[in-house]
Amino acid sequence: MQRLHCNYNARLCDRFPSVKEHLVESLHHALAALQSDGTVPAGDLPAFVVERTKNREHGDFATNLALLLAKLAGKKPRDLATALVAALPARAEIAKVEIAGPGFINFFLSPAAYHAEVRHALDRASAYGRGNDGGGRTAGVEFVSANPTGPLHVGHGRAAAIGDCIARVLDANGWNVRREFYYNDAGAQINNLAISVQARARGKGPEDEGWPEDGYRGDYIKDVARAYLDGAEVEVDGHVVAGAKDANDLDAIRRFAVAYLRREQNADLAAFAVGFDVYFLESSLYTDGKVDETVRELVAHGHTYEEGGALWLRTTDFGDDKDRVMRKSDGTYTYFVPDVAYHRSKWQRGYERAITELGSDHHGSLARVKAGLQALDCGIPKNWPEYVLHQMVTVMRGGEEVKLSKRAGSYVTLRDLIDEVGRDATRWFLIARKSDSQLVFDIDLARAQTNDNPVYYVQYAHARVMSVMRQLGERGLAWDRANGTAKLDRLDGEAEQLVMVELSRYGEVVEAAGTSLEAHLVATYLRELAAAFHGWYNTSQFLVDDADLRDARLALADAVRQVLANGLDLLGVSAPESM
């Protein structure tokens, strides 16, 4: 039987199925009954959805199952919907079922369904919302992968926030996640770095005659040169590189500069609470023979040809708009060849799912890399790897744009943002919008301690619950959690019910974020849950004399606190106890 694409079976590892999963289970029970009596033919069925309605007057959830089955069963959709509804098992979670329009089935849930979700959140605590969609399979997430030519700028920061949050969300969905940083430690930009440091070591500056035309002009180049001439030692990845003090030794300068800036980038990422399991050097693809091996495999499978003294790959056979040169007539490889070799290594390392997070300016190279992987004929799926592209970030301060200019050395670095607005606000603002949309980072808003600042607004909801719990003790009162979860039927106010509805969505959001690789969905959800909570908080008293009502309200409040903490953790943002 075709399963719903919410991975119902997988999430049963929680032991307490969600509200949505109860509905899916009921529908499958009804389907089995209709198949057994011949109303619906046996065999595979079309994928259907069970989704929340936009207007709760039309129910809490709706499904299109009857519409999809009608043609297969040779029946009118509404007649099939009627049969499905009649075959649904009686459940305490379902208060009413209606058939709407051409054959949609709308479910109205009972308060008991949402009460069960509150108890689930309290019982599961930090594990609430986590599923097993990945089944322990390995997923590699490559992100940032900045050239070690300078400090990380805000664009790298957005890549770090997106990549790290995707990794966290995949982990919450049961994947064994490996975070990977790919270092381009060879090529023209690294050479420009070396000659820039060499020029500084020789006493020249960007304003002097003879400064390299493509040299890096930032003040950090001066710092690298000074450290090199001082014979400083730099430790990175377990290796120590010492400055040779010789301004004429360009190779020594290159090794030192790359190590120095890699260490600086690692420190920036550590300040951003981002770490990696694998640091992969582009140069290793050549020293380990991976590039040559990949080219030999492509030739052996007959997907290459020679023309004009160059070796070409027939990427048009795999959807590219034109064939691509792999090896130029001078014997050097074009830049996409090591990319193919690198992703091939991921497949060889057992990454069943591979996600590569890149800036949108890399879009043009994706088709040829995928074509190269398909041409290897080694079983790599067509949709492998998955790419997540992010758009530019515009930084604003005082209503004016702060210009980014890496070569001029006047760009806003990731560390600048962290120092100015804090790690939490930086992470939130860089993840809060869909990655393929342009982002305006308003420094003034990120610093504001008002409800207009989304991260403050969400964190404040968590702190408010903690404040209520402190007041409980200060007043000599106690919270009987077991009594509270037993008395949730006392929470019949509109604001309280809205909070429970929002809380029950959390697991669905986490799963959707993992499936679509859109971690911003978690941030959007947290704002909506916080809004529901603040609305309830502003209209209700929690520490009332009625012990049953007080316990019930505190139970819901603590469940909200737990979900906020869990969601903030997926974004790498703290959940403060006071503000």
pLDDT at 532 > cutoff 50: yes
The fraction of the chain above a pLDDT of 70, given in percent, is 96
CA dist 344 and 296 (Å) reads 13
Which tokens belong to 525?
Answer: 């959800």
Most distant CA atoms of the chain, gap in Å: 89
Reference 550, options 429, 432, 468, 444; nearest CA is 468
Average pLDDT over residues 296-310: 95
CA dist 117 and 113 (Å) reads 7
Which tokens belong to 269?
Answer: 């990422």
Question: Which helix (H) or strand (E) is 141 found in, with range?
Answer: strand 138-142
CA dist 455 and 449 (Å) reads 9
Per-position b or e across 472-497, b if 16+ CB within 10 A of its CB: beeeeeebeeeebbbbbebbeeebbb
Task: Check residue 468 and give its pLDDT.
Answer: 97
Strands 104-109 and 233-236: unpaired
Strands 439-442 and 393-397: parallel
Task: Check residue 56 and give its pLDDT.
Answer: 87
Q: Report residue 214's pLDDT band, with 50, 70 and 90 as the boundaries.
A: confident
Span 488-523, pLDDT tens digits: 999 999 999 999 999 999 999 999 999 999 999 999
Task: Check residue 9 and give its pLDDT.
Answer: 40
| Ramachandran class of 38: left when φ > 0, alpha when ψ lies in -120 to 50, beta otherwise | left
Q: Are 47 and 5 in contact (CB under 8 A)?
A: yes
Task: Check residue 100 and give its pLDDT.
Answer: 94
The CATH architecture annotation of domain 8-109 reads 2-Layer Sandwich (3.30)
CA dist 250 and 234 (Å) reads 17
Q: 17 φ, ψ to 5°? A: -60, 145
- Between 40 and 297, the higher pLDDT residue: 297
CA dist 359 and 393 (Å) reads 11
What sign does the CA torsion over 186, 189, 192, 194 have? negative
Which tokens belong to 58?
Answer: 């039309």
Average pLDDT over residues 181-191: 87
β-bridge partners, 393 = 439
Task: Check residue 405 and give its pLDDT.
Answer: 44
CA dist 529 and 5 (Å) reads 24
Q: How many CB atoms lie within 10 A of CB 17?
A: 18
Q: How many CB atoms lie within 10 A of CB 419?
A: 12
DSSP 495-506: HHHHHHHHHHTH
Mean pLDDT, the chain, rounded, equals 92
Per-position b or e across 228-247, b if 16+ CB within 10 A of its CB: bbeeeebebeeeebebbeeb
Average pLDDT over residues 106-115: 94
CATH 3.30.450.20 fits 454-570, yes or no: no
Percent helix, percent strand, percent coil in the chain, to nearest 5: 50, 15, 35
Average pLDDT over residues 459-471: 98
Confidence (pTM): 0.91
DSSP 370-407: HHHHHHT-SS--TT-SEEEEE--EEEEETTEEE---TT
Task: Check residue 404 and give its pLDDT.
Answer: 53
What sign does the CA torsion over 171, 177, 181, 182 have? negative
Please give the C-alpha separations between residue 324 and each of 155, 292, 320, in angstroms, as whole numbers: 29, 17, 9
CA dist 484 and 247 (Å) reads 73
Span 248-290, pLDDT tens digits: 999 999 999 999 999 999 999 999 999 999 999 998 999 999 9
Task: Check residue 5 and give its pLDDT.
Answer: 35
Identical fold, 8-109 and 454-570 = no
Please give the C-alpha separations between residue 577 and each of 128, 212, 227, 469, in angstroms, as whole numbers: 20, 53, 43, 10
Average pLDDT over residues 547-561: 98
pLDDT at 542 > cutoff 50: yes
Domain boundaries defined on the chain:
8-109, 454-570
Average pLDDT over residues 138-160: 94
Span 40-64, pLDDT tens digits: 888 777 788 999 998 888 999 999 9
Span 196-212, pLDDT tens digits: 999 999 999 989 998 99
Amino acid at 244: A
Task: Check residue 6 and give its pLDDT.
Answer: 36
Which tokens belong to 449?
Answer: 């301690």
Average pLDDT over residues 536-562: 97
Q: Cα 305 vs. chain centroid, distance in angstroms?
A: 40
Task: Check residue 4 and give its pLDDT.
Answer: 36
pLDDT at 1 > cutoff 50: no
CA dist 227 and 294 (Å) reads 39
CA dist 169 and 190 (Å) reads 34
Contacts of 481 (CB under 8 A, 6+ apart): 122, 551, 554, 555, 558
